[in-house]
Amino acid sequence: MECDSLFWSRCFLVVTMLVAASLAQPPVSLPGCEPTPEVRKALEEIPDGKDLAKMKFSDWVARRHAAYQELIAKYPREVEPYRRLIEEENGETRGRDGFLDPSPYPALPEKLRAQAAQNPDDPLALYLAGLVLFEIDTPESFRLLEVAKAKAPQVPWPSLALAKNYSSGKRSDKQKSSDNLAAFFALCPDSTDGSAQWLLGKDTRLQPGVAAALRTRLSQETDPERLKEYGTLWSLEFRLHPPQEHDVLRRQIAEDLKRIETLNPRPDSEWQSFLISGYKQAGASSETVTAMEDRLLHEYPHSNGAFDIVAGRWHKANKAPEDQKDVVAWAKYRAAHTAARKGWIRDFPNDPQFAHGEWFLDSDKDDSLSEKDGIAAMDEFLNHTTVFGSPGSWIQFYAADFLLKHKWQPSRALDLLEKTKTIDDRVHAQQRANDDLSAEEREDLNERQVAWDLRLDGQILKAAQLAEQPDAVMAIKRFVEGPPPAQEKLRSDYWRNRARLAVIESRKQDALAYYQLSLRTRLEPPQYSHGKFSDDLTDEAQTLWKQTGGTPAAWATWNNLAASK
């Protein structure tokens, strides 16, 4: 199934039609603990994160949606395709940095709510509506999940959804979360479901039973993909036993590996990486691990596993300097790291994201970089990530920050920052719409938003000043001049923004007063980092001081007053 540039609305229409058709069928079967082998195999073939760097992002999403739709149409009583579709659409409309136009998607929760109302005796319809309405209409989400659980207590998924919903938020209830998780594992004692395992990490009373059940199942398993679940088991068993018993666990892992390493007739690089990880946990000798790594490097020299080995060995042989003030040692380390990255980019061409992004990310630390080379690296990074990467405001912000740090193309930096703000405003609105945030969570969200807005507005002010575009700050002026933040740790950034705005408006005396307040409210002085010392705040204030005709002697007095509490 292919989707063109209008695939968002078209795919959504197909999804809702398929959901309606499938749920309208008589509930002849109820979903079990895991997908059938046919569905599981089909899910494994859907493009995942490894494919994202090789496909346009829009094509990647369309392919995944089409695959879920086909599975829903073919297997209407299977839970997993629905779960993944709901999770991804929630991510696209509420969590993927606001890139995708969310306008068609709010209809999906309402469509599933309507289907639940039309099929009040179908636990699958009730469960799906309860799942999709969480954080949108959370009271109704809880009600539908409880009804689904009561109507079909042998279906595990309502219990897992309730366990997760009760684990946080303003309706959090530790006991109810634990009880529902116990109900899920009572039905699916050996499940490695990601949500279930995450919750299990907080519930030590259930861990021994799950570990025992999972070991029993895996001891009979022969499917290489399922055998990778030993990684989950080993982590669980190490958590269950004190350090003095870990030698016994290592011997058990070694026995597990002896059985499973011969069960894959086509051992690819991922399988070899899994075995290497297992042998490390089993306490294998360095000679054994090195030999296995060398084999992977020889057979799959351009794989992700090979890169992990090469990069890991380099970092082990080239320790970062411990003294942050050691300028010479850090310069030597950065030069060696840059040379190594150039080699990695050359030797691992199968990872386009690495090839197109790492050089730019590394160039940000290179003081000798020319403007021509720096802009070229940034352009390549932006062009590639915009098309192939998972979109996000951080891409534009990072690029703008790079330009401002070097004082290159400030007008372009301003444009990138304005795009960042447009995306982030939508994201923040979506986050605030969550109706299950506790008072503490909402306060934390607001604080993080204020901190981010101060940082973003500060960069917009800096870019507008360098680009000599004072009108560009009109959209944020009233926020910059608003009351200081309640959090003491944010006040220095607030006063710095007031100073930058005053400079743009040619109120230099006001700006110096605000710079002094920013310096006085700074909670921690700047420190050396990676052999470099920078104090942009003091540099900005001192530059303005000189522009107003201030003398070095008076600056020393002014600066001492600014630094005093």
Q: What confidence tens digit (pLDDT) does each residue in 251-264 have?
A: 999 999 999 999 99
Cα gap 237→216, rounded to integer Å: 13
Instruction: Inform me whether the pLDDT recorded for 364 exceeds 80.
Output: no
| Any domain includes 442 | no
Q: CA–CA separation, 470 vs 460, rounded Å?
A: 10
Residue 281, domain member (yes or no): yes
Residue type, 145: L
% residues pLDDT > 90 (the chain):
67
| pLDDT, position 391 | 60
pLDDT at residue 55, as a whole number: 75
Please tell me the distance from the alpha carbon of residue 122 to that of residue 114, in angstroms, as a whole number. 13
For CA atoms 334, 336, 337, 339, give the dihedral sign.
positive
Q: pLDDT tier at 185 (50, 70, 90 boundaries)?
A: very high
Same domain, 6 and 151: yes
Last residue of a domain, one of 269, 285, 317: 317
Kindly state whether residues 271 and 135 are assigned to the same domain: no
In a domain, 60, yes or no: yes
Domain boundary pick from 293, 317, 341? 317
Q: Taking residues 96-122, what's their average pLDDT?
A: 71
Q: What angle do CA 325, 329, 334 make, to 5 degrees?
A: 105
Summarised one tens digit per residue, pLDDT across range 481-490 is 999 999 999 9
Specify the 3-state DSSP secondary structure of 438. coil
Within a domain: residue 335? no
Q: Please give the structure tokens belonging to residue 354.
A: 């690495």
* Gap between the Cα atoms of 214 and 207, Å rounded: 10
pLDDT of 565 > 50? The answer is yes
Q: Which residues contact 315 (CB under 8 A, 6 or more apart)?
A: none
Phi, psi of 136 (to 5 degrees): -110, -55
500-503 LR contacts (CB < 8 Å, sep 24+): 500/458, 500/461, 500/462, 500/465, 500/540, 501/461, 501/473, 501/477, 503/465, 503/544
60 and 118 share a domain?
Answer: yes
DSSP secondary structure string for all residues of 441-489: HHHHHHHHHHHHHHHHHHHHHHHHHHHT-GGGGHHHHHHHTSPPPSSGG
**What 8-state DSSP symbol labels residue 529?**
B
Please tell me whether residues 299 and 215 are part of one structural domain.
Answer: yes
**pLDDT value of position 348:** 86
Report the chain's mean pLDDT, rounded to a whole number.
88
Assigned token pair, 308: 């992990």
Confidence of residue 346 (pLDDT cuts 50, 70, 90): confident
Q: How far is CA 437 from CA 108, 168, 171, 548, 565, in A?
A: 22, 8, 9, 49, 37
Residue labelled with tokens 């006085």: 520
Q: Which residue has the tokens 């507005």?
A: 457
* Domain match, 33 and 128 both: yes
Rg (CA), the chain: 28
Between CA 320 and CA 14 the distance in angstroms is: 53
Whether 14 and 145 share a structural domain? yes
Distances (CA, A) of 474 to 58, 389, 414, 444, 511: 34, 32, 13, 28, 17
Higher pLDDT, 380 or 147: 147
Interval 358-382 mean pLDDT: 79
Among the ranges given (49-58, 283-292, 334-343, 462-471), the one the predictor scored with the smallest mean pLDDT: 49-58
pLDDT at 353: 61
In-domain check, residue 82: yes
Residue 547 is encoded by which pair of tokens? 């522009």
Rounded distance, CA 520 to CA 564, Å?
A: 6
Domain count of the fold of the chain: 2
**Cα separation, 565 vs 562, whole angstroms:** 8
Residue 52: predicted pLDDT:
62
Q: Give yes or no: residues 141 and 266 share one domain.
A: no
**Would 215 be classed as within a structural domain?**
yes
Contact 459, 497 (CB under 8 A): no
Of 77-91, 256-270, 445-459, 460-474, the range with the lowest mean pLDDT is: 77-91
Higher per-residue confidence, 435 vs 62: 435
| Mean pLDDT computed over 114-129 | 95
Q: In this model, does residue 531 exceed pLDDT 80?
A: yes
Same domain as 220, residue 81: no
Beta partners for residue 532, in sequence order: 529
Residues 134 and 162: their CA atoms lie apart, in Å, by: 10
Same domain membership, residue 127 and residue 18: yes
Let me know whether 67 and 144 are in one domain. yes
> Is position 175 within any domain?
no
pLDDT per residue as tens digits for the range 376-434? 888 888 888 777 766 677 888 999 999 999 999 999 999 999 999 988 888 888 889 99
In a domain, 498, yes or no: no
Find the domain containing 63 and state its range: 1-155
Domain end position, chosen among 255, 285, 317: 317
Q: How many whole angstroms separate alpha carbon 126 and alpha carbon 128?
A: 6
- pLDDT, average across residues 445-457: 95
Q: Please indicate, yes or no, whether residues 228 and 308 belong to a single structural domain of this protein.
A: yes
Which pLDDT score, from 0 to 100, does residue 107 have?
74
Rounded to two decimals, the pTM is 0.85
Same domain, residue pair 132 and 7: yes
Q: Is the pLDDT of residue 564 over 80?
A: no
Strand, helix or coil for residue 3: coil
